[in-house]
């Protein structure tokens, strides 16, 4: 249609067209939020359909703006697992807060450049304030914390690995690992997150530098095995430098014994990192805070706002008690970066993190906190924890067996009467997902790789009747009534 338009009008659009486009966008958002609980939780996976829809856009002809938006939004809504659905019992993917949706739109509009402090001073200071406020909730020492907003937990964990290396061997920032006489090794529980494996590869350490320590029956890191591994590494001339504790494992919500790990790390001179990507949210709830006891001793912490703080993806955080370590890792001198802030007591984000140009990650958390407050968040997290407890009780009542222990709302379970193998668990999970009524997954836990079903309360809007709906479909697919 618009061959006659020049390139600037087809990119910027005229004011009138934009105004009606924004109305359509707002209406689409609101309709989705209002009706998502009426949709099937997940689509059927149909490669041909989604691929041919994507490929039907050859970009040779152009669509009218509203037509393109309407067409694609409708198709997207039909082709995704609805993580904002209250019967999505999944992998920490939240229903985004309303304020984070608004924030993302504003960030896209202003498009602040968070590389240089002087380009977006308020945005940079809002992120600094978030870093300090969240670090305070974890009990890191006031006045000396530093940190950076990240794309997510994986980037934060990679940052932890790099800072731990640079702290132990300052020369690696210049000479890399080549300069080291000893082989660096580090420790994570076998239930820890696999982003550490990727981080080890990216750092040039290789996957074999990661020691996966076996877990106890409670799926927490086994302290005796950990001590033995550290001694073995010392005896073999390797150089342990980092101990990772997980506070809320992805599989089962297990929380490693943080105080014990902190003292073990101190004893052996290891950097103590706590991966609290999801479980860290417990720090916002006074009566749950104690499950994280020991986290205040961490050298660094990973925390994802895009998990239990329910902001849209991606919003992670790396926090540390070492105020100079990020600059030592990431500072560079460049001729081309802006210099207006030189001499001010401020940090340029690009000299402070793995990312360079980056979006204003923090606004969605800042605005959500500004509206909900700490109390609003505590109420939401408390509610989800209660829904987890309700789910456990309902499962037990209907003769399912709970196989994990955690104060967090993540329930791993299996049939209470017959032993199920991996295939049976998968078949049941598939049937639940295929029903469109709920989304759950499967997991294999611990040394025995015990197969189980996994359901996590990830949505602050999940209510008792949604739990009932999950039980109905679970009970039905277990023993279909004729």
Ligand X SMILES: *Cc1c(COP(=O)(O)O)cnc(C)c1O
- Under the rule (CB under 6 A), what is the footprint of ligand X? 92, 152-154, 157, 193, 195, 246, 250, 275, 277-278, 304, 316
Identify the bridge partners of residue 304 per DSSP, sorted by sequence position. 316
Burial of 55 (0-12, 13-18, 19+ CB in 10 A): exposed
**Considering the complex, what minimum distance in angstroms separates the CB of residue 276 from ligand X?**
7
Residue closer to ligand X (CB basis): 308 or 366: 308
Residue closer to ligand X (CB basis): 198 or 383: 198
**Considering the complex, what minimum distance in angstroms separates the CB of residue 108 from ligand X?**
20
Residue with tokens 């207006």: 340
Distance CA 317, CA 319 (A): 6
Name the strand (E) or helix (H) holding 8.
helix 7-12
- 140 to 7, 136, 299, 300, 323: CA distances (angstroms): 52, 6, 9, 9, 12
443, 252 Cβ separation under 8 angstroms: yes
Residue closer to ligand X (CB basis): 247 or 428: 247
As a three-state string, the secondary structure of 238-250 is CEEEEEEEEECCC
**Considering the complex, what minimum distance in angstroms separates the CB of residue 325 from ligand X?**
20
**Considering the complex, what minimum distance in angstroms separates the CB of residue 445 from ligand X?**
15
**Considering the complex, what minimum distance in angstroms separates the CB of residue 275 from ligand X?**
5
Residue with tokens 């039907």: 56
DSSP for 277-300 reads TTGGGGGGSTTTGGGGTTGGG-SE
Residue closer to ligand X (CB basis): 201 or 399: 201
Residue closer to ligand X (CB basis): 241 or 308: 308
User: Helical H runs in 79-221?
Assistant: 98-110, 121-138, 153-168, 172-175, 195-202
Residue closer to ligand X (CB basis): 277 or 381: 277
First to last CA, the chain: 56
Residue closer to ligand X (CB basis): 301 or 470: 301
For 75-88, b/e burial (b = at least 16 CB within 10 A) is: eebeeebbbbbbbb
Task: Using alpha carbons, select from 26, 59, 124 the residue that is nearest to residue 346.
Answer: 124
Residue with tokens 């739109």: 105
Residue closer to ligand X (CB basis): 355 or 435: 355
User: Helical H runs in 345-442?
Assistant: 363-397, 422-434
SS3 386: helix
Residue closer to ligand X (CB basis): 274 or 477: 274
459, 471 Cβ separation under 8 angstroms: no
């Amino acid at each position: 249609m618009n061959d006659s338009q020049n390139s600037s009008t087809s990119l910027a659009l005229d004011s009138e067209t934009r105004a009606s486009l924004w109305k359509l966008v707002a209406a689409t958002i609101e309709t989705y939020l209002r009706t998502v609980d009426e949709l099937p939780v997940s689509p059927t996976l149909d490669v041909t359909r989604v691929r041919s829809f994507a490929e039907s856009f050859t970009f040779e002809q152009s669509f009218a703006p509203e037509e393109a938006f309407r067409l694609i939004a409708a198709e997207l809504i039909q082709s995704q697992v609805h993580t904002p659905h209250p019967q999505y019992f999944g992998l920490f993917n939240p229903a985004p807060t309303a304020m984070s949706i608004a924030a993302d739109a504003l960030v896209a509009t202003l498009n602040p450049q968070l590389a240089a402090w002087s380009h977006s001073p308020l945005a940079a200071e809002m992120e600094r304030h978030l870093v300090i406020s969240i670090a305070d909730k974890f009990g890191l020492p006031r006045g000396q914390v530093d940190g950076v907003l990240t794309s997510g937990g994986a980037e934060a964990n990679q940052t932890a690995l790099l800072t731990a290396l640079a702290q132990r061997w300052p020369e690696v920032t210049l000479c890399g690992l080549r300069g080291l006489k000893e082989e660096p090794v580090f420790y994570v529980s076998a239930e820890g997150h696999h982003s550490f494996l990727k981080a080890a590869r990216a750092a040039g350490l290789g996957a074999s530098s990661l020691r996966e320590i076996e877990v106890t029956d409670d799926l927490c890191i086994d302290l005796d095995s950990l001590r033995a591994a550290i001694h073995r590494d010392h005896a073999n001339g390797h150089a342990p430098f980092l101990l990772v504790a997980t506070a809320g494992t992805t599989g089962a919500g297990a929380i490693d014994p943080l105080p014990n790990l902190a003292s073990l790390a101190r004893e052996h001179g290891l950097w103590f990192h706590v991966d609290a990507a999801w479980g860290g949210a417990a720090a916002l709830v006074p009566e749950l805070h104690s499950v994280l006891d020991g986290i205040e001793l961490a050298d660094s912490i990973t925390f994802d706002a895009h998990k239990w703080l329910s902001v849209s993806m991606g919003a992670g955080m790396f926090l540390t008690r070492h105020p100079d370590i990020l600059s030592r890792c990431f500072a560079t001198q460049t001729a081309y970066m802006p210099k207006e802030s030189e001499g001010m007591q401020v940090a340029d984000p690009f000299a402070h993190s793995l990312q360079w140009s980056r979006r204003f990650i923090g606004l969605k958390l800042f605005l959500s906190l500004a509206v909900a407050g700490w109390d609003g968040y505590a109420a939401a997290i408390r509610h989800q924890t209660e829904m987890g407890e309700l789910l456990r009780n309902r499962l037990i009542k209907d003769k399912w067996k709970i196989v994990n222990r955690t104060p967090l709302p993540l329930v791993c379970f299996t049939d209470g009467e017959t032993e199920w193998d991996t295939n049976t668990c998968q078949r049941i999970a598939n049937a639940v997902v295929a029903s469109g009524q709920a989304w759950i997954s499967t997991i294999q836990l611990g040394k025995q790789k015990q197969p189980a079903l996994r359901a996590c309360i990830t949505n602050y809007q999940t209510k008792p009747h949604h739990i009932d709906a999950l039980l109905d479909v679970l009970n039905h697919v277990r023993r279909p009534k004729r």
